[in-house]
Amino acid sequence: MKMIRAFIRPEKEQEVVLALEGAGFPSLTKMPVFGRGKQKGLQVGPVHYDELPKALIMTVVDNEDVDRVVKIIQDKARTGFIGDGKIFVSPVESAYTVRTGEAVL
């Protein structure tokens, strides 16, 4: 299993979530976060924005689905401009469903 954490534009969040649901990955956790990237924030005229609002979407999927999920997020969250975000994939050793107590996703 892998945990996929995608930092995306907040306005793209709904589109990504609906696309994931359509592909059969309805489960996710989301939270609002603030961050910056290589460009050290955003400069608009004299104003410098150091921390930009992003949406963090976190989901855990089986190994064979990772590429598909990453592709869906990439397709839907992409605008081609800086600030589209990042996707991180990290290992998860086990997942438990609290309701049943079973070690299944």
Partner 1 sequence: MKEITAIIRRDKLPETKNMLDELGYPSMTIQSVDGRGKQKGAMCAEMDSEMPDSYCAAVKLTPTPSAYALEHTLPKVALYVPKRMLTIVVPDDVVTKIVKSIIKVNQTGKHGDGKIFVSPIEGAVRVRTGEHDGEAIA
Question: Does the protein bind partner 1 through residue 3 (CB under 8 A)?
Answer: yes
Question: Does the protein bind partner 1 through residue 34 (CB under 8 A)?
Answer: no
* Pick 18 or 50: Cβ nearer partner 1: 18
Give, for 68, the enclosing helix (H) or strand (E): helix 66-77
Per rule CB under 8 A, count of chain residues that contact partner 1: 27
Q: How many CB atoms lie within 10 A of CB 99?
A: 6
Range 73-92, binding partner 1 (CB under 8 A): 90-92
Q: What is the Cα–Cα distance from 50 to 80, expressed in whole angstroms?
A: 21
* Pick 42 or 74: Cβ nearer partner 1: 74
Q: What is the Cα–Cα distance from 17 to 72, expressed in whole angstroms?
A: 10
* Pick 28 or 42: Cβ nearer partner 1: 28
Sign of the CA dihedral running 11, 28, 54, 36: negative
Binding-site ranges for partner 1 (CB under 8 A): 1, 3, 14, 17-19, 21-23, 26-31, 60, 90-99, 101
